[in-house]
Structure 1
């Protein structure tokens, strides 16, 4: 396919993430530390102005209300999926939006990335999605493996004409709804301004399916209030801000909205969320997959564990998920170790051939 040279480099450390066992005493949204009533609006100011103060100046493309834009995006994607008879495989439209959320233009002043994507033919479009997931699996195999349900369909050997048509239609809907205005920023603070996957998941899934799963999407306003309360409780209990290595856990995480709110509250206090440990559990496979993708988009850092389980019957779900993540990373390392050996052998053979020819 024609190479799109517009994807931003994935900014990750050279050393791959190696998830550790979860901290033994996490602070949870469901079970926070002993309740301490925070003083009314008293929020400790950060050493530097909160990013929100300059958000419009720094990123004029960020919508005035990102949550409303995310809702509109979800409505556009869901409407397209259902009117074009996409069927019950809602992991397809959610996976398309998730993949688009993982990329961003190299140069905001350069060629329009949305136009470049839609200029591809159907085969190239599917190949693009394969490459997006493959590149991110190399960097974060632990999280991309947890999100497997969102990208397994891309690797099907044969995509029928209708699947190709609907994939293009959903891609076009997401792009025209402005997904890159929400997720196409270098700074994770702006990428985490809202959750683009939650509305898509809620609106593509039938109300009956949501009821069967006991699924309830926390409104963004409630999530952000809870995130601020959690940070205030930490500050009061510790007589200061959170220290690196603290553990934030949500036992019913959905697509990760409460984790996002906590991370944004940290950033507004001058704390780097990537220095913390994060974990979330959800019984719904698609919701857990969305949290895994969002953890990358929102820049939560290397110490993120997402489990798909019923926390009531699997209290050790986070530890088990962390062990699974370590196994996936080791598998990735073995594959790339073999690739490095093969590459070295081929290079040596090439040099030998060159010497032989010269002789």
Structure 2
């Protein structure tokens, strides 16, 4: 069995033990790649067109990342519909989300896409479970919000059709070049577009979208609104956004406005991880996508995503924060119990060795 080092980059940028996020959600930013001065240009050529790292050169960002994301969405939707996937669109979206959460180990490393496709069906399911579990250790609050995208993986017995669909969608996303959009070290490159929005829009029926009142904000509009949002903050506080400022979207969809605002900050040399972010959406799948995107785009530790109708639940963000604190505390208790059990077993081993000496 091929062993995939899926969390090589995660291990290199995160502490060995997952951080305990303060209950107030106002602590320092989580470990994340620093924003380089070269990526913060105020005019002239876009920093997207000038990747500086070896990884960025190997995984060259497409000239139009939004078009590339749409092509991935089309490929995934085609594979799903051709193979009669049905209405369980959380499956293809969850597969694309999991792939977007991993990155190739290094510029000279093996072809991760080839390794993934070389696995058998059971190994593929196990790999996706491990991806979600690994990220749950670091961000249980966001991964729990995205539960609808991965809970199907916990089924005891996957049908042959489900396994076939999983492989078909995986193959479509990888061959369409998802790692060229999400496989970069620099969060500015990873946040160049939203790979989940096209999948969500193209796999969901028109009737379902209308029933949810869902409207996809065009990329250009989202970019303009993101820049306007940061400009408004500048006017309100007579300067650049300051650490701890709250950026919120009460109808966030998959997080497009938050992404655009974060990119605008990076272009100003500001690390989005120093801000507070929140998004609310009535659609469970859209809220799940925002939660995953917050990790992909490195928005930092102070991110809250609520699944609610912000018009009738004005305290949705505060309630979601309370839920997130409870989830993080549960994670910490599990880690404490695991550490205690490991300590007891180690002591028992030492005692047994001493008795045998």
**Shared fold, TM over 0.5:** yes
| Separation in structure 2 between the aligned mates of residue 238 and residue 158 of structure 1, nearest angstrom | 56
Q: What is aligned with 1:15?
A: 19
Q: Tell me by how many angstroms 1:268 deviates.
A: 0.3
**Following superposition of structure 1 onto structure 2, how do residues 73-152 of structure 1 map, counting pairs within 5 Å?**
73-152=72-151
Show the 5 A alignment for 1:204-283: 204-283=203-282
Partner secondary structure for residue 271 of structure 1: coil
Cα distance change of structure 1 residues 213 and 5 upon mapping to structure 2, 3 Å threshold: same
- Displacement, 1:21? 6.4
Contact 1:291 1:306 in 2 (8 A): yes
RMSD: 1.6
Q: How far off is 1:321 after superposition?
A: 0.3
Q: Secondary structure at the match of 2:214?
A: coil
Deviation at 1:353, TM superposition (A): 1.0
Write the distance in 1 (CA, Å) between the matches of 2:39 and 2:93: 35
Deviation at 1:295, TM superposition (A): 0.1
Note the C-alpha offset of 1:17: 2.5
1:46-57 matches, within 5 Å, as 50=40, 52-53=46-47, 55-57=49-51
Alignment partners' CA distance in 2, 1:49 and 1:122: 40
**Equivalence for 1:198:** 197
Tell me, in whole angstroms, the C-alpha distance in 2 between the residues paired with 1:255 and 1:246: 21
Distance in 2 separating the partners of 1:89 and 1:340: 38
Alpha carbons of structure 1 residues 297 and 19: separation in structure 2 relative to 1, 3 Å: farther
Question: Equivalent residue for 1:177?
Answer: 176
CA distance in 2, matches of 1:99, 1:54: 24
Deviation at 1:229, TM superposition (A): 0.9
CA distance in 2, matches of 1:296, 1:64: 23
- 2 CA distance for matches of 1:65 and 1:354? 63
Quote the Cα distance in structure 1 between the aligned partners of 2:48 and 2:95: 31
Give distance in 2, aligned partners of 1:296 and 1:285.
17
- Name the CA distance, whole Å, in 2 between partners of 1:305 and 1:118: 34
Report the secondary structure of 1:131's partner residue.
helix
| Counterpart Cα distance in 1 of 2:272 and 2:25 | 18
TM-score by length of structure 2 reads: 0.91
- Give 1:138 deviation, angstroms: 0.6
Aligned pair count reads 335
- Mapped contact 1:255–1:290 kept (Cα < 8 A): yes
Runs of 4+ in 1 over 6 A off after TM superposition: none
1:163-214 CA distance string (max 9 Å, x none): 0001000000000000000000111111000000000000000000000000
